[in-house]
Structure 1
Amino acid sequence: MRPDHRRDRPGGADDGFTLAELLVAMSVVTIVMTSLGTFFTATVTRTAAQGNVSTAVQLVSDGLERARAIRGASLVTGRDRTATLQQWSAADSVVSPLLATMQQAYDPNPDGRAALLPATPVPVTIDGLGYTQSWYIGSCWQLRSGGDCTAVSSLGAAEFYRVVVEVTWPHRNCAGNLCTRVGTTLVSSTAADPLFVSGQSARPPTVVSPGAQVGEITVPVTLTVTATGGATPLSWTAQGLPPGVTISSAGLISGTPTAVGSYSATITATDAFDLVGIATFSWTVNALPTLAAIATQSSQGGRPITPLQPALTGGTAPFTWKATNLPPGLTIDPVTGVVSGTPTTVNATGSAVSITVTDSYKKTASVGFTWKVPVLVLTAIPAQTDSVGYAIPALTPDATWGVKPYTWKATSLPAGLSITTSTGEITGTPTTVGTASVTVTATDAVNTVKSTTFSWAIGPAVTAPGAALAGTVGSAFSYTSTAATGGTKPYVWSAAGLPDGVTIDSATGAITGTPTVSGRFIFTVTATAAAPRPATGSSIRLAFTVSAVGSGLKFATAPTSPLNTASGATVSQQVTGTGGKAPYTWGVTGLPPGLSMSATGLVTGKPTTVGTYTTQFTLTDSLGARARWTITWNIT
């Protein structure tokens, strides 16, 4: 019998697995392990993503807390307008709807200060993953009755800053491979945080007066008013502001003044409890600066000018002055505008000068005019007549303009006379009778030369007793004591102003006759020599008093001679008569200009011209009798 080699696979201890069974088993294991790996990977990925979100939420929370830690009014510090505009323009679709609920808020005067909350994204790296953190800040308003804080400002609404914090990080499971988390908060826009104290009544705000304000028409103004205390938010109003200037509910006064004047402005702050605080202050709006016209100036060269102060109206101090094309030697004070100095060159046609003033608001005004430094002018000297042996009155030529100092010289002066080179004064005592043709020359500091020529006659000396002559109406009079020396005889004698009824002998100089009119006379006696030619003469002035007889007509009161009066002084001089037969008639000749005589003999007025005048009063009675009174009247 053959041995049996079959084995029972189901129950045999040595039974194994077939290849098919092994392949099936391996496939099952592989499928299971693959499923487990995918599950594990997804679990790890979800866990990591959840951790990223948690980090982003924490960054948002941190950003909001950072904003809340800053005092409200300082939130926008350093965030300039340009950076804010760029940030808002680049906002994504997640943030844009929030920005629509507020108005852009920025620092109007950053002055280079660092932003407390940057207007550009801030990178943050945590566990190797890069995040960006951004702050958007805007203003919104909430009604006191509550509701949303919106971008619409209304009277009485509370102003807040809305802070939006956005955190972004990269991840493939987010739209555009960029994930976003956003948070918002409201922060009071006031400079101080509110303080709640129980058991006390609310107090109104105290408005801080901005003090007196000074502005200028057409110049924009910006002024922020403030208050302490009160329940925020505060709402501001104003009355009495200059035309063109307004105040916002936030307390910003701005605008451009349109009318010049002084204004009393009142600002009012109303708090959340409708309690009010007020302050009043002055506001002056100046006109634009204006310079009055300046007439053509003419100045003496070589001598300090009288300082010139341009007439300024309007404008706001301090002022800055400048001038162009001033004559050499002159300058302008940049603070006061006064022009001063000493011209050093001649400019007969004049310089076209312009003066400009600039005020504190950079507003300017200018005025143009001509400034001349004329050339040297030498006034003509009239013919001179003096007597031999007598010192002449000093003669000083009149020179103007040009550039001082002047240098003087003279040619052909009469013997005995000389000129001072520094002043031009001619002095001395003539020693020889004759007539000279004299030339006086002045030269200024810039070598301009001017001359004038005139005749100077030196006549014989006339002498007479020092005592005044005297006579009586109706009595014969004879005077033969006049004499003359120098020149060639015979002399020719003449006289002017003698009393009525008295004459002079032209050959002998004897004064004779019978006076017919009483009074006081001043007359001139002249002796003319026969040679040299042309004939030269010399004169002397004498006084002659003629007395009335009995009750004859005469002056009772009259001015003494000489009479000295200042130019412009008020004159009231009464002349009276006596004797004869009233009524009297008055007449006068030789009154100084500006004076007149009434029918009663009263001289009044104010003399206008300096000089020496021979004034003669005439008194006539009803019978035709006359009396005269002559004086020398000096107006100084």
Structure 2
Amino acid sequence: MTMRLTRSLKKLSVILYVACAAFASALFAQAAPVIATDYSIVHPLPGRLPTAKENSVYTPYDGATPETRFEARGGAPLLASSGVPGVIPPTYRYPANWAVVAGALPDGLRLEIESWIGYDPVTGSIVGLVISTDPVTGARIPAATTPGVIALPEFAIIEGTPIPGAAGVYTFTVEAFLPFGAPYAGDAPMPAQAEYTIEVEPEFDPPVIVTAALADAQDAEAYAPFTLEVHDGQLPLNNWRADGLPPGMSMSADGVISGIPEVGSSLRSPWMVTISVDDSNTSGARTATTTLPLVVSPTFLRIEAETLTAGYEGLPYAHRFEARGGYEPYTYTAVSGLPSGLSIDANTGVLSGVLGADTAGRSGTQHYRVVVEVADSHPAFPQSIRETFALVVSREHGGTFRMATATLPLATDGEAYAAQLVALGGSQRYSWAVTGDLPAGLSMDRSGRIFGTVDAGASAQSPYVASFTVTDLESGQRVSVRLPLNVLMEGDIAAELRATGETPTQMEESAEYRIPLAAKGGIAPYHWRGISVPAGLNVIAENGEWLLMGTLAPTPAPSVTVQLEVSDSASPVASARQSYTLSIASAEGSQPVILTTSLPAAVVGESYGPVSIDIANSTGTIELTATGLPEGLSLGHNAALTHWYLAGQVEHGVDASIAGTRYPIRITLVDSNAATTERSLTLVVFSDPSAASSSLPNTVPIASLLAGTPAGGCSLLRANDQDQKSGFTLWWLLVAAAAASGGLQLPKNKRK
């Protein structure tokens, strides 16, 4: 039994020894070279490699193994382990060198050896290596720990960072071949090649227009500047463009849509607008494009809110309702509230007719609520609107025959127009006539109704000033008034205000002048003022006309500059200036001249003046007489009879009115040489101080009243409305001081 066990143990020991010997032999014995075979590239497969990006490290990994690690089989394999026969198969490592042999990698990427095999040619075994990194290039550097060991390349990898501007698609060929010093048996192995493609994307993602919708627009209305939003892309963005915008709209270089859609653009709504923009990508601009709808609707329909003029029972009436917005033509309808005798024209919106009997009601004044509806004709966006207007009809139109119309409604180029002139009092049987200019396309009938369609372009000569005359057919009495008719451009815009009057080049001292001042554009009536005018001349409003008038005072200067300013009645007020140079010629002879050409208005019961009567070229003492003065006013003078003035207080009971009563006054001058001259002036007397304050001229001539001032040396003090009263008070103090010294004779007011 014991002998059998001993024999079994000996047998087992022999087997273990043989196995260990075989393993040690495989592990430490010199490996014989393996028969070489041709190379084949097994990873990565030919084709497209992972995408790279400018300025980003290229590190694509597929799990734990880089997707761009290049591995080969064949060649001259080195036995890494013999394994255990029947238990562990032998393993090999495959030395292979790598190179790009066709095409090129993107700038910034390179093909680098990732790992090496340490081969000892003495023992034929594989040994370890120490791998370091070049601090400049970043390349891996193998180093053997045993002298004579050869570092054979094994795997390669693509790595690096594509430089800016490297974006694009690159195709290249990689070759695996036998490295120098690798042992092999048989014929040298043939290299293997494979073709690959890498796409390098730009550093910035392509631009994308993210705006999802455009703001709506309206016909003929300014479109609020609209900026599109773009994400990504390399800045700056360039070459914005938009195709398909409505006429009148555009896109700026920085991507802002603006403009005014032409009238009728809503008929084609929505407009499909294609918008594009390029970025500044260094390797080639990229374009973002989108197509968005732009909805254009008509402007909101509205009726211009004008107060209806009052009507008078039994008299003609006319008023034009004016629609805006929507889409022409319009249809006008009077829904309710019209007094008898009136109707509305469905096409023009003119409300007209003769107000019927009893339309003023029992009380003599009737209030009507007139409801008017306007509908447009837009095929896609039809609109209608109703508005209520107050109309007052009165029966009280008797009394003094007079003109009631003071202003005319505004007109517009190319549009219908209607206005009714109204007279009151008398027999109430009137006939109307017009002299002067009406805009082309308009006319007036004998009932005082102005109607028609204004010609396009008529605003270029606006305003049109005409004299309207109404005649009482029973008494034959006539009343006239000059009124401006303003014509606006399309869109209800007034033309630019400009001075158009004559500009004389020469004047003569002591000569009388009456130069009309004229202007065009803006909104009449106008107001003129003299910024710089020669002594003796004044800017005067007379019978609805503005004049530069007076007698030019002697001046030592050979020339003077005239500066005038005209302002209109618009809100805000527009103004324009006129400037020219006058040559001054000396007067022949030395006839005396009354320089004063205007008088400030007077008010019943209030102190007036003193207002100096300015004189030039007189000799010695002066004698002045005046005719036509209202009761309470008279001429006064200093003790030397060299200075005269008008002063006093208009007495109660004289003819005056709220509108102002005009008194023609004639002043006659005789000097010590018996030279004579005359001047006709107008004095307006008001019954109400508030009416006078709004009508006083802005330029008030007040002469120097102190004794001893040389003849012809009068001055002009220019005062505005609010300081005029204080200016008069100051001059009264001066007059009183002179009177106290005995050098000035005050006028005595006569009372009934």
Structure with greater Cα Rg: 1
Q: TM-score, normalised by structure 2?
A: 0.28
Q: TM-score, normalised by structure 1?
A: 0.32
